[in-house]
Structure 1
């Protein structure tokens, strides 16, 4: 499986998803703080933070929150005041001391990029970074709705960029292949997004195997109840067991 994410998260990505801005992030973070008050204090990692829209909202409440992302381009787009609180790195090799975090947030589907084995290993590793009782927030796709509403092909223009997207379900993954054309120059490039499509019950079972228990869930950024038939998201609050894993 190619590591598509290494070359994709750049200025073109930011242009395509520009509608997801600070207001949406503020709503999501406020909901998270109401459901998991422990995120309001202590070291909290915004993992795959991008340009920091959720981190900026979280730091208004929690001055110990910090972010990490693999993309140099997205990190460079972060506001100047966030720069001291940003790290660059691969989520599979995090430079963070075990048991040091009160929380980890993964906003806007940064989970499921890897193989099943690597995804499970990532959950186990994140669990190990949390303090007992610490919370992992997992903002993920609603698999049932993705399947029911899949648009196989569409075209749109974002900030001078024409995007032709083709979507398919392949080997339990949702795959989106895009052809990007810059209207000013005619230059084109091809990019891919590929995410393992887990049902919520599969995520909960995988988390439990890694020492994380579901303490709550939501179906949208406003905190609505999760409904498999209609919710746009599955947002799980996974709490580290108080006892050491394996006991």
Structure 2
């Protein structure tokens, strides 16, 4: 089944500007999270992991270095093309939309760094949850690492300018119709560009509703990459472990 219409991320994630703007993401923090997570789940080396919406593969590559058999999938052609440079017999990447199940099952399915809730249509978010359920082997785990929406909204920075590689990214943020939106405007080589990131403002209650419809059992909730207890007022993240 095709998505009803083109989505914002289809074009934005495939531009070089997306990777320029976010080039300083914290790889040390990401590695610590992966170590903590696979340790908590007690995943033995050689376990099969699906990195769902893997981007350029930074989590996939490190999980593979830890000894896991990893498949990374993403909708961005450019991101997958880059990630494929790192492929080996136990690390592979391919283009795929997360709202359709991968025709394979895994010991763990990870959806990391707020890579959920991008779709305009509610049914596509539910289909993504249902797809994850189909991708988990019996006795396996699913993990969604999302922002803590209540804290994000409370501390929303309305506007700022970030200068990266000589480009001034004018960024404004707002909450509208149940989504958190980030407008990104900039000039480069005498051309004006404008993109809007749009993520559904999903709370723990919202995920509960999806999980109930999909027949998923929520096992644990954590509030940061050290896997400390989730608090809706103070936690930076909402990390869900389920099967």
Q: TM-score, normalised by structure 2?
A: 0.89
Equivalent residue, structure 2, for 1:177: 183
CA distance in 1, matches of 2:196, 2:207: 23
Q: 1:32-111 alignment to 2 at 5 Å?
A: 32-38=37-43, 40-78=45-83, 80-82=85-87, 85-97=92-104, 100-111=105-116
Tell me, yes or no, if the aligned pair for 2:218 and 2:242 is still in contact at 8 Å: yes
CA contact (8 A) 1:120 1:206 kept: yes
Hey, what's the Cα distance between the residues in 2 that align with 1:214 and 1:75? Answer: 30
Shift of the 162–193 alpha-carbon distance from structure 1 to 2, 3 Å rule, reads same
Task: Indicate the residue corresponding to 2:122 in structure 1.
Answer: 116
Counterpart of 1:188 in structure 2 is: 192
Give the conservation status (yes or no) of the 8 Å contact 2:49–2:68.
no
Residue equivalent to 1:11: 16
Provide, for residues 72-112 of structure 1, a one-character-per-residue CA deviation record: whole Å limited to 9, x for no partner: 22223337223761111212234423xx2111111111111
Most deviating of 186-195 and 46-55: 186-195
Query: 1: CA distance between counterparts of 2:44 and 2:190?
Result: 46
Q: 1:2 to 1:151 in 2, by over 3 A?
A: farther
Distance in 1 between residues matched to 2:99 and 2:184, nearest whole Å: 26
Of 214, 226, 238, the match for 1:234: 238
Q: Which residue of 2 aligns with 1:242?
A: none
Q: Output one character per residue of 1:9-45: Cα deviation in whole Å (capped at 9) or x when no partner.
A: 1321111111214322211111211222237543211
1:201 to 189, 202, 205: 205
How many residues are treated as equivalent by the alignment?
Answer: 235
1:245 counterpart residue number: none
SS in 2 for 1:96: coil
SS of match in other structure, 1:111: coil
Please give the alpha-carbon distance, in whole angstroms, between the structure 1 residues aligned to 2:215 and 2:49. Answer: 19
Residues 205 and 40 of structure 1, relative CA distance in 2, 3 Å threshold: farther
Question: Which consecutive aligned stretches of 4+ in structure 1 deviate over 6 angstroms post-superposition?
Answer: none
Provide the TM-score with structure 1 as the length reference: 0.88
- The alignment's C-alpha RMSD in Å is 1.9
